[in-house]
Amino acid sequence: MSASTRRAAGALGVVTLLSLPVSAADRPTAPGTAYPLLTSTSSPHNATSTDNEVSRGTALYWSYCGACHQANGEGVAGVFPPLKGSAVVNRADATKHIDIVLSGLQGARVSGVTYTNPMPALGATLSDADIAAIIDYERRAWGNHGSLVGPAQVASERARLK
Which span (21-29, 48-56, 109-117, 141-149) binds ligand HEC, by CB under 6 A? 109-117
Out of 15, 64, 132, 146, point to the residue binding ligand HEC (CB under 6 A).
64
Q: Is 108 in the site for ligand HEC (CB under 6 A)?
A: yes
CA–CA gap between residue 54 and residue 45 (Å, rounded) = 10
Q: Is 20 in the site for ligand HEC (CB under 6 A)?
A: no
Out of 38, 59, 71, 119, point to the residue binding ligand HEC (CB under 6 A).
119
User: Is 104 within 8 Å of 120 (Cβ atoms)?
Assistant: yes
Q: Quick one: 1 or 22, whose CB is closer to ligand HEC?
A: 1
Q: Quick one: 38 or 105, whose CB is closer to ligand HEC?
A: 105
Q: Is 18 in the site for ligand HEC (CB under 6 A)?
A: no
User: Is 20 within 8 Å of 36 (Cβ atoms)?
Assistant: no
Which residues, 6 or more positions from 111, have their beta carbon under 8 angstroms from its beta carbon?
Answer: 81, 87
Residue burial 123-138, b: 16+ Cβ < 10 Å; e: rest: beebebbbbbbbbbbb
**Rounded to the nearest whole angstrom, what is the least distance from the CB of residue 8 to ligand HEC in the complex?**
6
